[in-house]
A and B are shown apart, each in its own frame.
Chain A
């Protein structure tokens, strides 16, 4: 097995630690909040990068999956089950520790599902929806695929905006923190005291996602995906089950988006319909495009950079316009992305040849 592919992963781990130390040293701890939030958005774009760059399928509905994850977890962990606490099924759940009791802001008793239940329910439902949507949608190509996924995202947006249980325009708030491991008090929570801990939790999840993705790219599946991207007909003729691989990647990208949604919702303590808008989906696509489509590390870098700048408010009221401009400029002048490997290689070979020239000239 090729160990070389993990070098960037190790570099990322070191970078994450170094950045934290620098921020700690420079006394600018507030940057950690945006870096944590960016990490969860990065999870979404990693998944989308696999789908767009490697399997060659565009999805303009990724924010829909993000919202599905976030909303399901939010509703399950905030919906008060107290009126039903005497029913057998709730008692059964509490015996399994799947239902926990806590107090809300005003000290009222609140009985709701634990975040782990929310997490697994969100992932399970996302898989089911991605499967149901993916089978028909992935038969489509080009404009049809783009519009179908855009339509899916819009339907999710309309549903969360129009349904009482999802809080309509207000969204769901007062979402509790996500206690990952009660024994070591690991908790996904937006409170300032847990800032450093949450930064590492978020980036641990991203690194986990990267390891899975890197493995996938360099496996049989990855080769199959690239062959699909190259030419579906040729791949099909070579015996690659294209619909199966496309569907798997679609589901994986949906699950990554949903996980990002779940954690960000618990981190922020709330989720609103703005997370489900088509503009969000378009942003994710823009980030993948800037990152270089089939370049997962470029996508990661651009994902952190653009989300961080956007969350810190550097783009001001031109936030959406910036992403629109990015779209156009990248697609007009560098459709392979800014961080395309081949360009780096070109630069490398240029310098190498110059060095060689020097060597030849010197003796």
Chain B
């Protein structure tokens, strides 16, 4: 394999990988504040992209994307308020089933609103034929957009959790809910906020990747399971590790195409998920001592 080809694979790997990373970060944000996995996380990406695609003919692209993100944030908040907020100490099984139900409802609603056609947002710069040459590899400028937006999301989130009041309050809730409440933090509001945040970054990532991968109403589930794989690989709750894990999974998938038939591409990430769950449920970067105390 030539260096250019390898580099091409590498770039396509980190492009999808960065999307998995964003999904994984979305999982982690909600998991950290509530201890639940939101199975509807993948749907946020598709919903955001779909709204963006619908608005884009009428509005300038940045405005359409911003509106799409805002709308998805509102829907994320509504989901939490309607389905999660008022449950008193629900069992894990119950919440899993509710979020699965929510994901099905969103998916079916999208099917009835936007039918099953494959759509795509227009390219942020240039068209599908324009390309940039880096180290001999030809890539679409959209790849750079995806990588850039993912990087910005991750950096902003890091900043947000470290230095802003709400971000710190959310971290306090994830560390110890009772203690956080005693300090005067409204932990219920933080849960709503975590849903809004993960819906928002999901929608943004969905818009960014839509020109490259196209968008169809039922793509959320496979994105969700790969994002979850990334979250597990990095250790559930650890957002920065999830980013690295997402990139690893994207690269593995990209290079698996050169060995395995394309039809098995999705199976690679899932097989990886099973292997991690079986042998190292604390993730690649989780500590063994900590994991010994935790239940999986």
Please judge, given known A-B contacts A58-B93, A320-B104, whether A151 and B273 are in contact too, CB under 8 Å. Answer: yes
Inter-chain contact A151/B92, CB cutoff 8 Å: no
Interface hub of B37, B101, B222, B263 (most chain A Cβ within 10 A): B101
Inter-chain contact B267/A327, CB cutoff 8 Å: no
What DSSP secondary structure best describes chain A's contact surface? helix
Would you give the shortest CB distance from A6 to chain B, in whole angstroms? 31
Q: How far is the CA of A328 from the CA of B95 in the complex (A)?
A: 9
Q: How far is the CA of A101 from the CA of B97 in the complex (A)?
A: 48
Inter-chain contact B278/A332, CB cutoff 8 Å: no
Nearest CB to that of A159 among chain B residues?
B267
B96 interface contact, C-beta 8 A: yes
Nearest CB to that of B260 among chain A residues?
A162
B154 interface contact, C-beta 8 A: no
Q: How far is the CA of A137 from the CA of B296 in the complex (A)?
A: 10
For chain B, residues 132 to 162, give those with C-beta under 8 angstroms from any C-beta of chain A.
none
Inter-chain contact B97/A289, CB cutoff 8 Å: yes
A24 interface contact, C-beta 8 A: no
Q: How far is the CA of A158 from the CA of B222 in the complex (A)?
A: 11
Inter-chain contact B104/A158, CB cutoff 8 Å: no
Inter-chain contact A158/B263, CB cutoff 8 Å: yes
Which of A137, A140, A320, A331 contacts B97 (CB under 8 A)? Answer: A331
A144 interface contact, C-beta 8 A: yes
Write the B100-120 contact mask toward A (1 if CB under 8 angstroms, else 0).
Answer: 111111011101100000000
Nearest CB to that of B269 among chain A residues?
A151
B83 interface contact, C-beta 8 A: yes
For chain A, residues 174 to 206, give those with C-beta under 8 angstroms from any C-beta of chain B.
none
Inter-chain contact A144/B263, CB cutoff 8 Å: no
B274 interface contact, C-beta 8 A: yes
Q: How far is the CA of A152 from the CA of B275 in the complex (A)?
A: 11
Inter-chain contact A144/B83, CB cutoff 8 Å: no
B277 interface contact, C-beta 8 A: yes
Interface size band for B:
35 or more
Interface hub of A137, A143, A161, A278 (most chain B Cβ within 10 A): A143
Inter-chain contact A331/B104, CB cutoff 8 Å: no
Q: How many A-B residue pairs have CB under 8 A?
A: 123
Q: How far is the CA of A317 from the CA of B109 in the complex (A)?
A: 11
Would you give the shortest CB distance from A71 to chain B, in whole angstroms? 15
Inter-chain contact A144/B221, CB cutoff 8 Å: no
Q: How far is the CA of A324 from the CA of B102 in the complex (A)?
A: 7
Q: How far is the CA of A324 from the CA of B228 in the complex (A)?
A: 21
Residues of A contacting B36 in the complex (Cβ-Cβ under 8 angstroms): 143
Please judge, given known A-B contacts A140-B277, A161-B263, A328-B101, whether A154 and B225 are in contact too, CB under 8 Å. Answer: yes
Would you give the shortest CB distance from A62 to chain B, in whole angstroms? 14
A216 interface contact, C-beta 8 A: no
Residues of A contacting B92 in the complex (Cβ-Cβ under 8 angstroms): 141-143
Which of A148, A159, A286, A331 contacts B94 (CB under 8 A)? Answer: A331
Which of A150, A158, A317 contacts B264 (CB under 8 A)? Answer: A158
B271 interface contact, C-beta 8 A: yes
Interface hub of B100, B112, B232 (most chain A Cβ within 10 A): B100
For chain A, residues 307 to 360, give those with C-beta under 8 angstroms from any C-beta of chain B.
317-318, 320-321, 323-328, 330-332, 335
A285 interface contact, C-beta 8 A: yes
A155 interface contact, C-beta 8 A: yes
Would you give the shortest CB distance from A226 to chain B, in whole angstroms? 16
Inter-chain contact B104/A324, CB cutoff 8 Å: yes
Inter-chain contact A155/B271, CB cutoff 8 Å: yes
A146 interface contact, C-beta 8 A: yes
Q: Chain A: how many interface residues by the 8 Å CB criterion?
A: 44
Inter-chain contact A141/B274, CB cutoff 8 Å: no
Q: How far is the CA of A195 from the CA of B64 in the complex (A)?
A: 57
Residues of A contacting B103 in the complex (Cβ-Cβ under 8 angstroms): 324
Inter-chain contact A327/B263, CB cutoff 8 Å: no
Inter-chain contact B264/A327, CB cutoff 8 Å: no
Residues of A contacting B91 in the complex (Cβ-Cβ under 8 angstroms): 335
Inter-chain contact B98/A162, CB cutoff 8 Å: no
A8 interface contact, C-beta 8 A: no
B202 interface contact, C-beta 8 A: no
Would you give the shortest CB distance from A188 to chain B, in whole angstroms? 31
For chain A, residues 129 to 146, give those with C-beta under 8 angstroms from any C-beta of chain B.
136-137, 139-144, 146
Q: How far is the CA of A144 from the CA of B27 in the complex (A)?
A: 13
Nearest CB to that of B267 among chain A residues?
A158
Write the B163-189 contact mask toward A (1 if CB under 8 angstroms, else 0).
Answer: 000000000000000000000000000
Inter-chain contact A144/B281, CB cutoff 8 Å: yes
Would you give the shortest CB distance from A46 to chain B, in whole angstroms? 19
Residues of A contacting B225 in the complex (Cβ-Cβ under 8 angstroms): 147, 150-151, 154
Which of A142, A147, A168, A325 contacts B93 (CB under 8 A)? Answer: A142
Which of B98, B264, B296 contacts A331 (CB under 8 A)? Answer: B98
Inter-chain contact B101/A324, CB cutoff 8 Å: yes
For chain A, residues 156 to 176, give those with C-beta under 8 angstroms from any C-beta of chain B.
158-159, 161-163, 168
Residues of A contacting B107 in the complex (Cβ-Cβ under 8 angstroms): 320, 324
Inter-chain contact A318/B100, CB cutoff 8 Å: no
Please judge, given known A-B contacts A148-B274, A159-B267, A282-B104, whether A332 and B87 are in contact too, CB under 8 Å. Answer: yes
Inter-chain contact A320/B108, CB cutoff 8 Å: yes
Residues of A contacting B105 in the complex (Cβ-Cβ under 8 angstroms): 321, 324-325, 328
By a beta-carbon cutoff of 8 Å, the part of chain B in contact with chain A is: 36-37, 83, 87, 90-94, 96-98, 100-105, 107-109, 111-112, 221-222, 225, 228-229, 232, 261, 263-264, 266-267, 270-271, 273-274, 277-278, 281, 295-296
10 residue pairs, one from A and one from B, having the closest CB atoms: A162-B263, A324-B104, A327-B101, A321-B108, A136-B278, A328-B101, A142-B92, A158-B267, A151-B270, A143-B37
Q: Mind listing 9 A-B residue pairs with CB under 8 Å?
A: A136-B277, A137-B274, A147-B277, A162-B261, A282-B100, A324-B101, A324-B104, A328-B83, A328-B105
By a beta-carbon cutoff of 8 Å, the part of chain A in contact with chain B is: 58, 60, 136-137, 139-144, 146-148, 150-152, 154-155, 158-159, 161-163, 168, 278-279, 282, 285-286, 289, 317-318, 320-321, 323-328, 330-332, 335
